[in-house]
Amino acid sequence: MHRISTTALALTLLFTLSNPAAADTPALNEARTLVAKAHMGSNLPAIALSTAKATVSWSMIAEKLGADDANRIVSEEITALLPKYQPEWDENLARAYEKSFSEEELSSLVADGPASQYVEKVKAQQATVGGEMRSTSEPIVVALVTEALKATMEKRVP
């Protein structure tokens, strides 16, 4: 029994280490650099606030505090929570770009920015990257919004 467990563990470890999806590829590293350099994940607070405004909790907060104060306070809570959620958001964004672009394309985008020959491809791939982000990152937005609204309710709504 011990020998089977050891063999199973060794095979699992071998599969995990050889799985390209689990490894950091040069393209993924370029995508991470691109996301960071171009501040591509900076839309998370706006997406979170928009999502928050579509909730019943937002309506309750706005009713108690007024829409302007609700907007300001929930935005502050979202901003305070960004260090917890932004890294995973940015990682998912990098992985979405890695799926749509080659290492060469990503390197060009990092090095040349708006002058890259692949800028048009970025525009053409926005729907694909956006769809990938929706499928992988919705839980991040939900968690961020839930935590921000809960904190707002606990701190500010009697």
Tell me the residue type at 11: L
pLDDT recorded at residue 121: 96
Q: What is the CA radius of gyration of the chain?
A: 20
Whole-angstrom CA distances from 118 to 15, 80, 113, 138 are 34, 35, 9, 28
Q: Tens digit of pLDDT per residue, the chain (158 long)?
A: 444 444 433 433 334 444 444 579 999 999 999 999 999 999 999 999 999 999 999 999 999 999 999 999 999 999 999 999 999 999 999 999 999 999 999 999 999 999 999 999 999 999 999 999 999 999 999 999 999 999 999 998 87
The structure's pTM equals: 0.82
Cβ neighbours around 137 below 10 Å, total: 22
Whether 61 and 152 have beta carbons less than 8 Å apart is answered as yes
Angle between helix 26-37 and 103-112 (nearest 10)? 30
pLDDT recorded at residue 22: 53
pLDDT recorded at residue 55: 97
Domain ranges of the chain: 24-156
pLDDT recorded at residue 157: 84
For residue 145, the number of C-alpha atoms closer than 13 Å in the C-beta half-sphere is 21
